[in-house]
Amino acid sequence: MRIIDSHTEGEPTRLILDGGPPLGGGSLHARRECLVAQFDDVRWAVAHEGLVGALLCAPQEPASTAGVIFFNEAGPLGMCGHATMGLAVSLYHLGHIDLGRHKFETPVGSVTADLKTAHDVAVENVESYRHRAGVTVEVDGMGPIVGDVAWGGNWFFLARRSPVALEPENIGALTQAAAQVRQALAAQGITGADGAEIDHVEFFGPPQGPPENPGANARNFVLCPDGAYDRSPCGTGTSAKLACLAADGKLAPGEGWVQESITGSRFEARYVLSDAGAVRPTIIGSAYVTGEAQDLMGELARASAAS
């Protein structure tokens, strides 16, 4: 199995270039279900230790550059903004694509990555929307937490306040608090559309960037389904945030939003309205290749035997 690793604003991606499991044809959604049902050991092996995996697939549409299935240690993901940036930068690094716009098919719809330079990417995400506003969830030891339920390619609960200050030294406490919120959402039957599990929790607060780099609109902390926090500002989470801001009339189409992560990295974001009036976010960030491997499964097997 041949892989290439990258990071996007601090968050890692592991792209399977070839040698992945045979998933057959059909939609990306169907192939994702095949990956989970028949090749879950491959998914787990690739996406351990907080990595997001991305399996490169043949697209269904001739105009698409490729299909991609995203996953982490907990299971499959719908979309992943930072990993799409890592995908585009990695393919360019290998000489597989040129600068410019590239369409990628995902299990939840097609997205476009506009590769501006060898590292800078603007991702036009799937249509995003707020499903429920002002939802209150009762959390043991924390009391009522109010937030919005929104879709940005994955399902999010976006809490309107953070129970702990959004500072790196509080990452452990933030992780525990977000996990408690997620458990409470499930226990109280609070879901996304059609009963979908809300598997991402996002806290917000004021930005804390250095004086030499001002201008962020908010800082966030995002807990992902595998229990790891997002070191980037989270592309799908930022998309969900834009959908909520648009619904509240707090951000106009084309107006910029700068989202700062718990680590201080940033995504620039904006949205347009589709012909149907839906929010279509664009998330802008930078990614860098960090390593390559020609025989990942063999290396993992040898490491396991040696231990």
Answer yes or no: 244 catalytic: no
Q: Active-site residue among 57, 224, 234, 244?
A: 234
Separation in Å, CA 6 to CA 217, 283, 290: 26, 18, 5
Q: Active-site residue among 57, 80, 224, 244?
A: 80
Tokens for 24, please give them. Answer: 């057959």
Burial of 150 (0-12, 13-18, 19+ CB in 10 A): buried
Tokens 């697939």 sit at which residue? 57
Tokens 């990942």 sit at which residue? 296
* Residue 275, φ and ψ in degrees, nearest 5: -60, -25
C-alpha–C-alpha distance, residues 173 and 263, integer Å: 15
Is the torsion defined by CA of 182, 185, 188, 194 positive or negative? negative
Is the CB of residue 233 less than 8 Å from the CB of residue 268? no
Is the CB of residue 217 less than 8 Å from the CB of residue 258? yes
The number of helix segments (H) and strand segments (E) in the chain equals 6, 16
Answer yes or no: 80 catalytic: yes
Is the CB of residue 228 less than 8 Å from the CB of residue 192? no
Is the torsion defined by CA of 43, 45, 46, 52 positive or negative? positive
Residues making up the chain, counted from first to last: 307
Residues carrying an active site annotation: 80, 234
